[in-house]
């Protein structure tokens, strides 16, 4: 239960205040699990209060706390997992996370390939969730993760690696509107030489961020051409899901994807007829 404590997102905010002097982060995050239910509940309630304060307090008042939390990354895996989850939660909830967690970024990046799954994934999640923007120096590390985070063969793909890949692609997509290099890299992930999971992650990011650069739109068309005129692998199969999400992304892009009208019309799988109609309709508006 403690491992998911800081993954809680729905938090009722309270007024900002300085609390670093009353919190021993190393002791709290490194506290071993206790089988007593009452103790667990108290620990959880304290954690929620601390998260509320970290999210609501002004940046200067939490700086000392961030410094102390970063020290925990030198400790045992359980504590590092808790620290990484805490920072990921702060990153997801604070609109000024780029400023508040600025000093944390180098430490988080250093954990991108940590042997511990929780630490690794939460550290990446923290960086790619920063608002209003991800630090530019993170892009090269995210590109390296995306290229090396998943095996080409789907049989060898682990949940851990796929989660890393999904997070890295999400982060790269956030750069794509302003970085031609990021846009080109994202487009390359849509290529047929990549695993279906990689291509699906890229398509979902295109849809999420409304990326309509010509190089990306062209790759969406290539996906449809690859499967046009074919009955795919059944409802919920990976290839059908890839085409389904590609059609959904095209619908989201609307008139920016008008050049793909012929590509969309080549999709004849009856299970995708609704998505085809939606894409054709929205690109005309």
Q: Is the pLDDT of residue 265 over 80?
A: yes
Residues 221-237 pLDDT 10s: 999 999 887 766 666 68
- The band of 155, judged by pLDDT with boundaries at 50, 70 and 90, is very low
Helices (H), 130-179: 139-148, 159-176
Residues 167-225 pLDDT 10s: 999 999 999 999 999 999 999 999 988 889 999 999 999 999 999 999 999 999 999 99
Residues 52-70 pLDDT 10s: 999 999 999 999 999 999 9
Lowest mean pLDDT among 17-26, 215-224, 253-262: 17-26
Q: Is the pLDDT of residue 153 over 70?
A: no
> Is the peptide bond between 132 and the residue preceding it cis, with omega within 30 degrees of 0?
yes
The pTM of this model reads: 0.85
- The band of 47, judged by pLDDT with boundaries at 50, 70 and 90, is confident
Written out in words, the top-level CATH class of the domain with range 1-133 is mainly alpha
When computed from its CA atoms, the radius of gyration of the chain, rounded to whole angstroms, is 22
- The answer to whether 1-133 and 139-285 have equal CATH topology is yes
CA 28 to chain centre: 27
Written out in words, the top-level CATH class of the domain with range 139-285 is mainly alpha
- Which pLDDT score is estimated for 130? 98
- Which pLDDT score is estimated for 132? 97
Q: Is the pLDDT of residue 151 over 50?
A: no
Place of tokens 């996370």: 97
- Which pLDDT score is estimated for 234? 64
Task: State the Cα–Cα distance between residues 256 and 185, nearest whole angstrom.
Answer: 20
Q: Is the pLDDT of residue 242 over 60?
A: yes
Among 249, 182, 198, which Cα is nearest to 221's? 249
Place of tokens 């992304």: 249
- Residue ranges per structural domain of the chain: 1-133, 139-285
Among 223, 225, 211, 207, which Cα is nearest to 262's? 225
- Which pLDDT score is estimated for 73? 96
> Is the peptide bond between 105 and the residue preceding it cis, with omega within 30 degrees of 0?
no
- The band of 150, judged by pLDDT with boundaries at 50, 70 and 90, is very low
């Amino acid at each position: 239960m403690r491992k998911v404590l800081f993954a809680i997102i729905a938090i009722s905010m309270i007024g900002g205040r300085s609390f670093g002097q009353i919190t021993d982060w190393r002791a709290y995050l490194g506290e071993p699990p206790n089988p007593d239910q009452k103790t667990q509940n108290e620990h959880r309630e304290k954690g929620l209060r601390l998260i509320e304060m970290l999210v609501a307090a002004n940046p200067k008042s939490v700086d000392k706390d961030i410094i102390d939390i970063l020290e925990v990354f030198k400790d045992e895996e359980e504590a590092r997992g808790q620290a990484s989850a805490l920072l990921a939660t702060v990153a997801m909830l604070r609109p000024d996370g780029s400023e508040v967690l600025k000093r944390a970024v180098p430490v988080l990046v250093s954990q991108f390939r940590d042997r511990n799954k929780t630490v690794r994934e939460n550290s990446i999640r923290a960086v790619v969730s920063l608002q209003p923007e991800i630090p530019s120096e993170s892009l090269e590390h995210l590109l390296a993760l995306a290229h090396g985070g998943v095996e080409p063969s789907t049989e060898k793909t682990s949940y851990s690696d796929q989660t890393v890949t999904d997070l890295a692609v999400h982060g790269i997509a956030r750069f794509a509107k302003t970085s031609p290099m990021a846009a080109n890299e994202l487009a390359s992930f849509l290529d047929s030489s990549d695993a279906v999971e990689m291509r699906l992650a890229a398509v979902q990011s295109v849809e999420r961020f409304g990326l309509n650069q010509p190089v990306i739109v062209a790759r969406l068309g290539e996906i449809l051409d690859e499967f046009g005129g074919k009955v795919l692998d059944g409802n919920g199969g990976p290839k059908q899901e890839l085409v389904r999400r590609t059609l959904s992304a095209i619908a989201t892009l609307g008139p920016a994807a008008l050049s793909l009208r012929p590509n969309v019309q080549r999709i004849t799988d009856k299970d995708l007829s609704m998505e085809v109609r939606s894409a054709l309709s929205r690109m005309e508006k």
